[in-house]
Amino acid sequence: MPKLINCFAAGLLFFYNTNAAFALGHARSETSAQSANDFKGKKVIEIVPAEDGKLIQLPDSSFYAFGRQFETRLKTRLINSQKFVVAEPAANESIQLFQNQIAPGYSWPASTTPSAKIIVTYEVVSFTTGKRGTRFFYGVDEKTPAFPNEFPIYSSENPSGPSHFMGRFQAKGKTNTGSQAGLEIADKLALNLGFTKLGFRFNPYRADIRLKIRISPTVSGKAKEKEVTVTTKGFYFDFEAGYEGLSGLIQIARRDAMIRAFDQAIDHSTVSIEELFNDVPITAKIDYVIKEKNRTVALLGTGGFSDIPQGQSFYIPGTDVELVSQLSTVDGTIAYVKSGNPDSLKPGLIVIDQKIQETNQLFANSIQQVPPLRINLSDQNITENSLKQEDLINQKGRITKLKSWVLNIFTLGYRVWRYYQYDQKFIVESAQNQGAVAASRINQTNNNQKERSTQLDHHALQKPDYDVEPDTTPIIAILDTGIDYNHRDLKNNIWSNPFPIANMKGEFDNHGWDFISGDNRPFDDAYHGTEVASAIVRVNQNVRIMPLKIFNPWGATRSGAILGAFQYAVKNGANIIVCAWSTPIDSQAIRQGIEYAMINNVIVVTSAGDNGFNLSRVPMYPAVLSFEYENLISVAALSRDGGLLYNEKSKSNFSPAFVQLGAIGEDIEVSDPRNKRDHVSSTRVATGVAVGMLAQNISEERLSLNHMPEYRVSIDRLLDHTYSDPELAPLIEEGRVLQFGSGIKR
């Protein structure tokens, strides 16, 4: 066998020496222009697949594999550049395989050794569409983790919109002057001509991508790391006929618009990668060594079609050996020893096309930070005309349509005004106004305390005989529709982030975060979150409210938004997390969020829900998880007469297995967005009452302990301030009733 190998190699070399021009003519015809620019051959590159691949959920609940798309397009670009050979991971063949399988001609089962590996970390992959109250965010960013969405906007069961939260966020939004008035103006010009309805949608979008690309050479030099950010902006324009009234629902951009935006960003982010390889050496492994009378020949695994030019030098690091290429084949390169000790050649040794003098330059572990690349692409507009059969409006009676048309005309001015009331920024008061507001708040606080002490019944907690210090003020994170942080009743209780961090748009999270729009304006575009916050503040003004918006005006959300809000609250020091809503979906995002809070000593308070369900028979989440997570409290709503709340407006859920206590929740005056107020009966306000008292307990415990008490201690103390009502025992655990709230002003 060795003689056969030597004969084959000798014949191969003879063929080359006598037909050099013919043998290399075709291979060099494609690279002759590059040779003039010191082309040394193609470098073998390995692209390391991302672990998660960044699966981004699209509006139709399908997934876009951003990581795989990026890697595929990068591979295509590198190959088309005629400078690289892209190897599959772990593509190295065994040397023994070569020794036992010699193929005739120019081919042998050569090894493939990458010159470097490309490792891509996907930090931000986001897509935002819409304006003001209709803005919606998809993807992953600094605050929103990748998580399969358990709350799809559209589904086969309910193609007209989200119903995952039993419609509790839309109760006030069903009229032309309701909580959703003006939202349709954000991106649609509608012509409702009596019985015909036409609409033109104008959807702006923005795609943001931030990657960290690391080039890790196999031999020599430092690894290079470069941050690449790409921002793509544009609009999506669509025509629609007979579009369902409430399917103005979010006005999300079409799936293809989102994919095109990502693809554009991918194409531009690969531009900068090639330059990172400029000083990375061509790297290969010696597959076989053939000793002749006058010289030693080595078969190098330089990669398929690497086009190594004749006369290219290779060096064995740490030795004085220099090899020179003679022939480039479809599998590798045939080279001979030009200088140095040929006896040092062995199969499996690494060779490179650069001479390294110092051995300490080999296999360096340090990382060189390359200046970041930022690309902004504006006016990348996508025009699509579509008419979806499922969007056609159901035929209604002519009288109903005429009434709707008249109302649209007469309320147009109001709806236009309302459109500009959505998505408000936090208004920073001047120093003079702040002083006046502070004085007013002190007077209001004193009056409220006096009013409470005279109006609370004999079960009420007494006001402590000391003032709560500012550094003991609990932070309460409210995961909801946002909060009207400019409301006169709430503005002075809004949390301020002591260490704000900016996103890719340069927006700092000074006062919470909007996980639905992906920005720093968690303003309440509905009403739900503001009412919960005001119920808390009515009970206890010595709190800081952290607004975390996870629902849009229609109650749509994403699992990533929910889990991201839990994580944000915990990381930014929240003592209590409030989830004053319920869903029939057993969400893993909710479970992981509660567990994350429990591990970090944070209490979660949730409402039992307003459906009149026995939770032991019809489970609603997260309320029923109180049986599994001891940091979770579930609250039912009680009427003014002490019974379970059950009227036309709201019917409290119940279960002695899953509901820990009941609190007053009937006809409570609460704050609504735009400096309004309303009277509400709901478990959400009952939850706010319970949270207000829990926060007072935490403040008092901090004063006595000089540190944050364990969540179990705070929960037990709250339950200690309840009394047992035997009539409620079949509905609430031990019939517990919070000893506070029946005297709250209506």
What pLDDT, in 10s, does the model give residues 680-701?
999 999 999 999 999 998 988 8
Sequence-distant (6+) residues with CB within 8 A of 542 are 468, 473, 695, 696, 699
User: Which segment, 46-60, 424-438, 455-469, 624-638, is predicted with the most confidence on average?
Assistant: 624-638
pLDDT of residue 202: 64
pLDDT of 51: 64
pLDDT of residue 214: 86
Residues 6+ apart with CB under 8 A from 643: 727, 728
pLDDT at position 237 is 59
The tokens for 67 are 């990581």
β-sheet bridge partners, residue 84: 43
Tokens matching residue 625? 């998880």
For residue 705, what pLDDT band results from cuts at 50, 70 and 90? low
- Is the confidence at residue 105, as pLDDT, over 70? no
DSSP-based three-state secondary structure for 441:
helix
Whether residue 482 is predicted with pLDDT greater than 90 in this model: the reply is yes
**What pLDDT does 382 receive?**
42
pLDDT, one tens digit per residue, over 503-513 is 888 899 999 99
Could you report the per-residue pLDDT of 409-450, keeping only the tens digit for each? 666 666 666 666 777 888 886 544 554 444 444 454 444 444
Q: Which two tokens stand for residue 71?
A: 């890697």
CA distance 325 to 356: 19
Asked if the model's pLDDT at residue 724 lies above 70, the reply is: yes
Mutual orientation of helices 2-18 and 20-29 as an angle, nearest 10°? 80
Spatial distance between the Cα atoms of 100 and 173, rounded to a whole number of angstroms: 77
136-140 vs 116-129, strand pairing mode: antiparallel
Q: Which pLDDT score is estimated for 75?
A: 86
From 13-17, 304-308, 612-616, 666-670, the region with the lowest mean pLDDT: 13-17
The pair of three-digit structure tokens given for residue 619, joined into one six-digit string: 């489970």
Q: What crossing angle do the helices spanning 66-80 and 255-269 adopt, rounded to 10°? A: 40
Burial environment of residue 96 by CB neighbours within 10 A (0 to 12, 13 to 18, 19 or more): exposed
Cα 643 from Cα 652, distance rounded (Å):
10
Q: In the prediction, which pLDDT does 324 show?
A: 93
Nearest of 244, 238, 57 to residue 161 by alpha carbon: 244
Instruction: Give SS3 for 259.
Output: helix
Q: How confident is the model at residue 516 (pLDDT cuts 50, 70, 90)?
A: very high
In 10 A of CB 504, how many CB atoms? 19
CA pair distance 532, 28, nearest whole angstrom: 74
First to last CA, the chain: 100
Q: What are phi and psi of 155, to 5 degrees?
A: -145, 165
- Determine which of 69-73, 245-249, 615-619, 706-710 has the lowest per-residue pLDDT on average: 245-249
pLDDT at 254 over 80: no
- Could you tell me which residue, 220 or 31, shows the higher pLDDT? 220
Q: Give me the pLDDT at residue 92, please.
A: 44
Average pLDDT over residues 369-384: 51
Q: Which of 263-272, 437-446, 598-607, 733-742 has the lowest mean pLDDT?
A: 437-446
pLDDT-based confidence at residue 179 (cuts at 50, 70, 90)? low
Residues making up the chain, counted from first to last = 746
Q: Is the pLDDT of residue 491 over 50?
A: yes
pLDDT for position 554: 81
Per-residue pLDDT tens over the stretch 191-211: 443 334 445 556 778 888 888
Q: Give all domains of the chain, ordered by start, each with its CATH number.
A: 422-738 (3.40.50.200)
pLDDT above 70 (res 590): yes
| Encoded tokens for 181 | 């008035």
- Decide which of 186 and 427 is more confident: 427
Q: Give dist(CA 665, CA 647) in Å, integer.
A: 11
DSSP annotation string for 388-435 = -GGGBPPP--HHHHHHHHHHHHHTHHHHHHHHTTSSPPPPPPPHHHHH
Q: Which two tokens stand for residue 711?
A: 């969540």
pLDDT higher than 90, residue 547: yes
Q: What DSSP assignment string belongs to 229-250?
A: EEEEEEEEEEEEESB-GGGGST
Instruction: Look at 185-189, 269-273, 515-519 and tell me which has the smallest mean pLDDT.
Output: 185-189
Strands 322-328 and 313-315: antiparallel
Residues 6+ apart with CB under 8 A from 225: 212, 213, 214, 215, 367, 368, 369, 370
Backbone Cα Rg of the chain: 34
Comparing 38 with 379, the larger pLDDT belongs to 38
> pLDDT grade, residue 151 (50/70/90)?
confident
> What was the pLDDT predicted at 5?
44
Mean pLDDT of the chain: 75
Work out the angle between the directed axes of helices 398-410 and 412-419 (0-180°, nearest 10): 60
